[in-house]
């Protein structure tokens, strides 16, 4: 699980490289201009033309009938699970899934939903694993009603599910009377990395969402997509959890701008992640997981520096990075990190470890 970034300490240098997360991105000047120019209205009443345009575009992009604008991806996950499941029902998901590890127990606290963890390499599982986890339909057993996947898998190293594997999971779930949900926080990273259209990746999933606050660089916003009936039912939960966003077009405009200008450039983040991984692999004691997208995970055990200690020492040099456990770390490339900053970060990591020795 990711630790909070070190708090600023008086006398520390300013942040020079922020690899803590792609959520650290800030809207560009052009994105801010698009936000200021947005036409707005009452989102709840369907009278905000910019929100409506974003939802229509997202439904087309992901091959669904309808879509709903929300402030965050976690809200998309929460509303999706509340819409699909009743209290006491079970969700099959990977043991590292965001819905299980990073949402404050929201599925259980708000929906009485039990998430049933599945093993699998790099944050993914397969049909035999699902078969092994299947419970009998009996009064004594949890009714398993939903299968959830995460594309890309964050704690799986930013790994990309292949379309065939996604389809096999969806077909199995539907064959056993279960619904399917895709946490698509970094779905477009997968699309760019694999060269597969988003609608093809999302085919077979009853709900899917995209986060705009990560590599796409918007200050807030995510869109949940599904059938017209699903989104209609999801609106009830949106109302229960806080209701409308009112003149939300100012935020939706940032998301539309991101779709126009920040998707193809995700390839730059992937290239920077590869470059960083190559640099880290040359540092004695660092074991690097080969990145598939914009997330670079590495192990510090052989250096003798625990992840939180290395993160703190790097912060003192103006480099922010995530500690993901005792020895595991994550560096996340994004539109606010260029190749020069990647090299600066690699040098800082090399120097800190050399100084330790």
* 205-259 pLDDT tens trace: 999 999 999 999 999 999 999 999 999 999 999 999 998 889 999 999 999 999 9
Predicted confidence (pLDDT) at residue 6 exceeds the cutoff of 60: no
**Tens digits of residue pLDDT in 147-183:** 999 999 999 999 999 999 999 999 999 999 999 999 9
- pTM over 0.85, yes/no: yes
Phi, psi of 33 (to 5 degrees): -65, -40
pLDDT value of residue 186: 98
Average pLDDT over residues 190-196: 98
What is the pLDDT, as a whole number, of residue 7? 64
3-state secondary structure at position 312: helix
Average pLDDT, integer, range 116-125: 98
Paired with 183 in beta bridges are 150
Note the pLDDT of residue 357. Answer: 67
What single-letter DSSP state applies at residue 334? -
pLDDT at 3: 53
* Rounded CA separation 217/336 (Å): 9
Q: What is the pLDDT of residue 4?
A: 59
- pLDDT at 351 (0 to 100): 95
Q: What is the pLDDT of residue 168?
A: 98
User: What is the DSSP code string of 134-195?
Assistant: PPPSSTTS--EEEEEEESSBTTTTSB---HHHHHHHHHHHHHTT-EEEEE-TTHHHHHHHHT
Respond yes or no on whether the N-terminal peptide bond of residue 152 is cis (omega within 30° of 0): yes
Please check the confidence at residue 296 and state whether its pLDDT lies above 60.
Answer: yes
pLDDT (tens digit per residue) in 18-50: 999 999 999 999 999 999 999 999 999 999 999
Q: Residue 209's closest CA among 255, 246, 250?
A: 255
- Residues in a beta bridge with 94: 118
Residue with tokens 């991101």: 258
Domains and CATH numbers, the chain: 29-261 (3.40.640.10), 265-356 (3.90.1150.10)
């Amino acid at each position: 699980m990711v630790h909070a970034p070190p708090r600023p300490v008086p006398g520390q240098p300013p942040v020079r490289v922020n690899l803590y997360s792609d959520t650290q991105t800030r809207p560009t000047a052009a994105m801010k201009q698009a936000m200021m120019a947005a036409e707005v209205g009452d989102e709840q009443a369907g009278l905000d033309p910019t929100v409506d345009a974003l939802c229509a575009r997202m439904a087309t992009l992901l091959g669904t009938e309808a879509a709903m604008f929300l402030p965050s991806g976690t809200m998309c996950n929460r509303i999706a699970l509340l819409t699909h499941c009743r209290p006491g029902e079970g969700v099959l998901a990977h043991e590292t899934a965001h819905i299980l590890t990073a949402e404050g127990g929201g599925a259980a606290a708000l929906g009485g939903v039990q998430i049933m963890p599945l093993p699998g390499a790099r944050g993914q599982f397969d049909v035999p694993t699902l078969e092994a986890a299947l419970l009998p339909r009996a009064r004594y057993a949890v009714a398993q009603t939903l299968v959830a996947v995460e594309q890309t898998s964050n704690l799986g190293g930013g790994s990309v599910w292949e379309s065939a594997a996604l389809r096999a999971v969806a077909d199995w779930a539907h064959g056993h009377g279960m619904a399917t949900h895709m946490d698509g926080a970094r779905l477009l990273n997968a699309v760019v990395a694999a060269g597969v259209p988003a609608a093809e990746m999302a085919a077979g999933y009853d709900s899917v969402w995209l986060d705009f606050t990560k590599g796409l660089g918007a200050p807030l916003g995510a869109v949940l997509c599904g059938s017209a009936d699903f989104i209609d039912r999801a609106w009830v939960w949106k109302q229960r959890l806080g209701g409308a966003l009112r003149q939300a077009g100012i935020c939706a405009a940032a998301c539309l701008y991101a779709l126009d200008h920040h998707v193809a450039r995700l390839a730059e983040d992937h290239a920077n992640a590869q470059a960083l991984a190559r640099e880290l692999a040359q540092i004695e004691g660092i074991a690097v997981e080969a990145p598939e997208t914009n997330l670079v995970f590495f192990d510090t055990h052989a250096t003798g520096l625990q992840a939180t200690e290395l993160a703190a020492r790097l912060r003192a040099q103006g480099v922010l990075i995530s500690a993901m456990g005792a020895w595991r770390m994550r560096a996340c490339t994004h539109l606010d990190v260029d190749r020069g900053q990647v090299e600066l970060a690699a040098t800082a990591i090399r120097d800190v470890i050399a100084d330790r020795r």
